[in-house]
Amino acid sequence: MSVFRMPSLGSDMEDGTLVEWLVHPGDHVSRGDVVAVIETQKGAIEIEVFEDGTVDRIEAALGQKLPVGAPLAVIREDGEPAADERGQTAVPPPEAESPAPAPPPPADETLPTPPAQESTKARPAPDVIPASPAARARAAELGIDLSALTGSGPGGAILLADVSATRPESTPHPAAKPGLDLAAMREAIAAAMSRSKREIPHYYLDHEIDLEAAQAWLSAHNAKAPPEGRLLMAALIVKATARAAAEARDMNGHFTDSSFVPSKTVNAGVAIALRGGGLIAPALMGAEALCLPDLMAAMRDLVARARGGRLRGAEMTEGTITVSSLGEGGVDGLTGVIYPPQVALVGFGAPRRLPRIIGGAVLPRLCLRTTLAADHRVSDGRSGATFLSRIAGLLQTPEAL
């Protein structure tokens, strides 16, 4: 018997609001299954269970704002008798609205308490209502029940427009009006970045990458491909960074408990700006091993879900390095702040055509300013320089990415 708790989806998260249960008592779950949806400062996130077993009891009711660590459900291991067959198992009541996050509790708690009547207080799980964070925020603001709406988004997801449509007299500028969610997200970003700057001794390295070969290859590829098969430069950049990170010993992983734990795979956090403000960096899992079309598809899916749907808990917590790319409309360069517990962030500016000397002649070249922010507790400038040079080198042979 173990307790499924409100997970921490990043060092900046203190609490979450339970919005949906996707399982019922008696359901069998396997490690990695999405079992619930919580609303966080970064929008609705699907949270996964980390073991195999059967849902014994639901401990938390929908709509409750719960601190990290609060019990959400009790999971019975395979072969274990149900709670009512073996006396009682329960967990301390959740401390809703607790000002501080609960300390990490032991993995398994078995405490005697009176027979369970509290589990039945959880409202029955409603049908899954997919909706964008903006739609949720607006619906909450207007007091509209999402289940009363028909969604027009992917998979019937409720979009902001669907919520607005129910109130034609509502304000005409939904995108320009930041809701509470954005203010909360700003707080979350502030907390994470303050911690980063307080705890991580950053150092920075700048390198200019010649992007002519990559751009020529990309243009030729895209000219032959239908829109669905086209790639973005961002996909090449993420792939090159992920491959270089996989080779580097000290750029890819987590710094926890005073030591660095390198990661074998590269879960590339991709910084995604949200219109209206806010930033989120969910991870592309195993990015170093994805071929470009697969990486592009995964990135498309990630961006769509970051903006209009739901991200997974693992995508929020298992990033091992972050890539932040400004794209065509951006400024020259980006010197980033590392997202703890990661130890490196690579910022890419907007590609610019600039005069450069090639073989004694001045030629226009497409240039990409690349800036590494890395953790001096883990690496030094020399390995950082090797890492950046490797990214640059990989982008010279885009066909081999």
Partner 1 sequence: MTEDDIRRTFLDLVTRVAPDLATDDIGGDDHLQDDLELDSMDVLNLVAAIHERLGVDVPEADYMEIATPNRAVTYLSGRLD
Considering only residues 28, 249, 264, 300, which one is a binding residue for partner 1 as defined by CB under 8 A?
A: 300
Q: Does 169 bind partner 1 (CB under 8 A)?
A: no
Q: Does 134 bind partner 1 (CB under 8 A)?
A: yes
Considering only residues 110, 303, 383, 396, which one is a binding residue for partner 1 as defined by CB under 8 A?
A: 303
93, 94, 86, 88: which is closest to 111 by C-alpha?
A: 88
Interface positions, 313-332, toward partner 1 (CB under 8 A): 327-329
Q: Does 307 bind partner 1 (CB under 8 A)?
A: yes
b/e map of 146-159 (b: 16 or more CB within 10 Å)?
beebebebeeebbb
Considering only residues 30, 88, 120, 219, which one is a binding residue for partner 1 as defined by CB under 8 A?
A: 219
Cα 69 to Cα 3: distance, rounded to the nearest angstrom: 10
Q: Does 248 bind partner 1 (CB under 8 A)?
A: no
- The vertex-378 CA angle with 377 and 380, nearest 5°, equals 90
Handedness of CA 141, 14, 70, 268 (dihedral sign): positive
Shortest distance, CB of residue 217 to partner 1, whole angstroms?
13
Q: Does 96 bind partner 1 (CB under 8 A)?
A: no
Number of shown-chain residues binding partner 1 (CB under 8 A): 34
Contact present, 46 and 37 (Cβ < 8 Å): yes
Shortest distance, CB of residue 95 to partner 1, whole angstroms?
34
Q: Does 94 bind partner 1 (CB under 8 A)?
A: no
Which residue type sits at 324?
Answer: S
Residue 178, number of CB atoms within 10 A of its CB:
15
Q: Does 223 bind partner 1 (CB under 8 A)?
A: yes
Residues 380/383/385/387 CA torsion (nearest 10 deg): -130
Stretch that binds partner 1, among 38-46, 128-136, 315-323, 385-393 (CB under 8 A): 128-136
Stretch that binds partner 1, among 21-29, 201-209, 220-228, 381-389 (CB under 8 A): 220-228
Considering only residues 71, 308, 340, 347, which one is a binding residue for partner 1 as defined by CB under 8 A?
A: 308
Shortest distance, CB of residue 154 to partner 1, whole angstroms?
9
- 60 secondary structure, DSSP code: S
Shortest distance, CB of residue 165 to partner 1, whole angstroms?
9
Considering only residues 105, 174, 286, 333, which one is a binding residue for partner 1 as defined by CB under 8 A?
A: 174
- CA atoms within 13 Å, Cβ hemisphere of 29: 29
Considering only residues 273, 279, 292, 297, which one is a binding residue for partner 1 as defined by CB under 8 A?
A: 273
Q: Does 114 bind partner 1 (CB under 8 A)?
A: no
Q: Does 160 bind partner 1 (CB under 8 A)?
A: yes
Query: CB-wise, 2 or 324, nearer to partner 1?
Result: 324
Tokens of 363: 């030629």
Contacts of 230 (CB under 8 A, 6+ apart): 221, 222
Query: CB-wise, 253 or 308, nearer to partner 1?
Result: 308
DSSP string, 196-211: HHHH--EEEEEEEEE-
62, 74, 94: which is closest to 29 by C-alpha?
A: 74
- The vertex-215 CA angle with 209 and 219, nearest 5°, equals 175
User: Residues interacting with partner 1, by CB under 8 A?
Assistant: 132, 134-135, 153, 159-161, 164, 172-175, 219, 222-223, 226-228, 230, 232-234, 273, 275-276, 299-300, 303-304, 307-308, 327-329
